[in-house]
């Protein structure tokens, strides 16, 4: 009976701790003088999957692309009277909100300005704290015991609590010995 209860609790864990599979990219489109550029065509293309999302700038020059799958993106901005801007290497991880401001130069649409850089690590859009632990980190880190709680400690600000709170946890059911 207790094993059945433990298995029932463990099978409900994914629903309780769902992980985000997407993020958000926001920003403002401006010209060289700092004036906003409304109606600019902003296009995001995932470099790995070719997933494409259009996010035109509003009257304030701001664009928002929410629920965007994670990965490396190339952002292209086009507006008549300005040079086409292509920014590549923007890396979006799970639950991130990246701010990528785009500055257009006056010129012919056939001219292209290409920028290759990464977005800043500072996230100023939300107070959410998230961290991504890669497969490489899991393999190379000296984890004591190879438990999920040891992986939690890799994230900044994470606290796993005392060992006593884990003995009363549903996760501990699988490790208990039953007569």
- pLDDT at 71 > cutoff 50: yes
Range of the domain at 31: 25-116
Instruction: Name residue 74's beta-bridge partners.
Output: 45
- Is residue 87 in a domain? yes
| pLDDT for the residue 16 | 42
The rounded distance, in Å, linking the Cα atoms of 60 and 51 is 26
The average pLDDT across 31-55 equals 95
167 belongs to a structural domain = yes
Give the per-residue pLDDT at 26: 94
Q: Per the structure, how many domains does the chain have?
A: 2
The answer to whether residues 171 and 94 belong to one domain is: no
Single residue among 90, 116, 142 that ends a domain in this structure:
116
pLDDT tens digits for range 124-159: 666 666 666 777 777 777 766 666 667 766 676 676
77 and 108 share a domain? yes
Higher per-residue confidence, 41 vs 10: 41
pTM: 0.60
* Cβ–Cβ < 8 Å for 90, 65: no
Residue given tokens 């550029």 in the structure block: 37
**Same domain for 88 and 34:** yes
Q: Tens digit of pLDDT for each residue in 94-128?
A: 888 899 999 999 887 566 666 665 555 555 666 66
- Phi, psi (rounded to 5 degrees) for 74: -110, 125
Task: Dump strand ranges (E) for 31-96.
Answer: 41-46, 52-54, 62-69, 71-78, 84-92
């Amino acid at each position: 009976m207790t094993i059945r209860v433990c298995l029932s609790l463990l099978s409900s864990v994914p629903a309780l701790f769902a992980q985000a599979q997407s993020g958000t990219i926001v920003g403002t489109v401006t010209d060289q003088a700092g004036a906003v550029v409304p109606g600019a065509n902003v296009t995001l293309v995932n470099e790995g999957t070719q997933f494409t999302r259009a996010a035109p700038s509003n009257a304030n020059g701001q664009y928002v692309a929410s629920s965007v799958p994670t990965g490396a993106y190339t952002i292209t901005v086009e507006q008549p009277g300005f040079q086409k801007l292509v920014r590549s290497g923007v890396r979006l991880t799970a639950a991130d909100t990246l701010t990528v401001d785009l500055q257009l130069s006056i010129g012919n649409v056939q001219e292209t300005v290409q920028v290759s850089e990464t977005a800043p690590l500072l996230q100023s859009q939300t107070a959410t704290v998230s961290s991504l632990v890669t497969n490489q980190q899991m393999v190379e880190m000296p984890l004591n015991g190879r438990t999920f709680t040891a992986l939690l400690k890799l994230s900044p600000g994470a606290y796993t609590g005392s060992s006593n709170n884990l003995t009363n946890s549903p996760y501990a059911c699988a490790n208990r010995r039953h007569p």
